[in-house]
Amino acid sequence: MSAQYGAGNAPHPPELRPLEAGDPQRVGDFTLLGRLAEDSAGVVYGAHAPRGGHAAVRVAAASLAADPGFRSAFARRASAMRGVSGVCVLPLLAADPDAGPPWLATAYPAGPTLRRRVESAGPLTRDALFALATGTAEALAAAHAAGLAYGRITPDDVVLAADGPRILGLDAAGGAGGSLFPPEAQGSAGAEWASPESAAGAEPAPGADVFSWGCLVAYAARRRHPFAAGGDTSDMLRRIRDGRPDLAGMPDELSPLIEMAVAADAGARPSAESAYRGLVAFASTDDTAHIATPDLGDRLRGVLASHWQGVGAASSDEAAWAAATASAGTASATGSGTHAAQSGPAAGSAAPAAAPAPDEPSGRRAGALATAVVTACSMAGAIAIGVGGYLTAGSFAGEAGAAPSASQSASSSPAFGTAEEAVAGVVETLRTAAGYRAVDEVDGGDAAAAGERREYVLATLAGQEHFQSVTERGSPEEPEAGSVARIYSPESDRLISREYGGGVEGRYYASATGPDDGAAWRLSRKAVLAPFQGLRESMDVAERIEGELNGTPGLHVSGTFDGAVRTESGQQEFTDAPFDLWVGVDGRPLRLAYTAGGQEHSWDYSGFDGLDSRICGVVEGVPDLERAYLVPTRAGTACGDVRPVVEEYLAIPPEEQQAAGYVAEVGEWTCRMDPVPDGSAATQGASADVGACYRGPIGAAERVDLVELQ
Percent of the chain with pLDDT over 90: 27
pLDDT tens for residues 239-295?
898 889 999 999 988 999 999 999 999 888 999 999 999 999 988 888 888 888 888
Q: How far apart are CA 321 and CA 319, in angstroms?
A: 5
The conformation of residue 253, written as its DSSP 8-state character, comes to T
pLDDT tens for residues 394-429?
222 233 233 223 222 333 344 567 888 889 889 988
Rounded mean pLDDT, 225-243: 83
Q: How confident is the model at residue 664 (pLDDT cuts 50, 70, 90)?
A: very high
Q: At residue 126, does pLDDT exceed 90?
A: yes
Q: At residue 308, does pLDDT exceed 90?
A: yes
Q: How far apart are CA 420 and CA 278, in angstroms?
A: 13
Q: Letter for the amino acid at 275?
A: A
Q: How confident is the model at residue 198 (pLDDT cuts 50, 70, 90)?
A: confident
Q: At residue 313, does pLDDT exceed 80?
A: no
More confident residue, 445 or 54: 54
274 neighbors 288 (Cβ within 8 angstroms): no
Q: Where are the domains of the chain?
A: 7-385, 419-606, 618-707
Q: How far apart are CA 425 and CA 275, in angstroms?
A: 14
Q: At residue 684, does pLDDT exceed 60?
A: no
pTM for the model stands at: 0.50
510 neighbors 686 (Cβ within 8 angstroms): yes
pLDDT tens for residues 55-97?
767 778 888 888 888 888 778 777 888 888 899 998 878 888 8
pLDDT of 147 reads 85
The conformation of residue 124, written as its DSSP 8-state character, comes to P
Q: How confident is the model at residue 482 (pLDDT cuts 50, 70, 90)?
A: confident
Fold of 419-606: outer membrane lipoprotein receptor (LolB), chain A (2.50.20)
CA torsion sign for 153, 154, 157, 161 is positive
Q: Is 670 left (phi over 0), alpha (psi -120 to 50) or beta?
A: beta
Q: How confident is the model at residue 579 (pLDDT cuts 50, 70, 90)?
A: very high
pLDDT of 260 reads 93
Compute the C-alpha angle 568/572/578, nearest 5°.
115
385 neighbors 44 (Cβ within 8 angstroms): yes
pLDDT of 2 reads 35
Q: What are phi and psi of 351, to 5 degrees?
A: -85, 155
The DSSP bridge partners found for residue 55 are 47, 372
Rounded mean pLDDT, 597-611: 86
Q: At residue 179, does pLDDT exceed 60?
A: no
Rounded mean pLDDT, 618-632: 83
pLDDT of 362 reads 30
What is the separation of C-alpha 15 from the centre of its chain, rounded to a whole number of angstroms?
A: 34
Tell me the CA distances in angstroms from 524 to 278, 455, 519, 607, one per residue in order. Answer: 33, 12, 9, 16
Average pLDDT value for the chain: 76
Q: What are phi and psi of 495, to 5 degrees?
A: -120, 130
pLDDT tens for residues 508-548?
888 777 777 667 778 889 999 999 999 999 999 998 888 88
pLDDT of 314 reads 67
SS3 (DSSP) at 296: coil
CA torsion sign for 333, 335, 339, 342 is positive
pLDDT of 251 reads 92
pLDDT of 370 reads 21
Q: Letter for the amino acid at 155?
A: P
Rounded mean pLDDT, 547-560: 87
Fold of 7-385: Transferase(Phosphotransferase); domain 1 (1.10.510)
The four Cα atoms 154, 159, 160, 165 give a dihedral, to 10 degrees, of: -80
Q: How confident is the model at residue 440 (pLDDT cuts 50, 70, 90)?
A: very high
Rounded mean pLDDT, 489-517: 78
595 neighbors 443 (Cβ within 8 angstroms): no
Q: How confident is the model at residue 368 (pLDDT cuts 50, 70, 90)?
A: very low
102 neighbors 96 (Cβ within 8 angstroms): yes
pLDDT of 566 reads 67
pLDDT of 316 reads 62
Q: CA nearest 631: which of 511, 485, 520?
A: 485
pLDDT of 231 reads 65
The conformation of residue 150, written as its DSSP 8-state character, comes to -
CA torsion sign for 536, 542, 546, 552 is negative
Q: How confident is the model at residue 30 (pLDDT cuts 50, 70, 90)?
A: confident
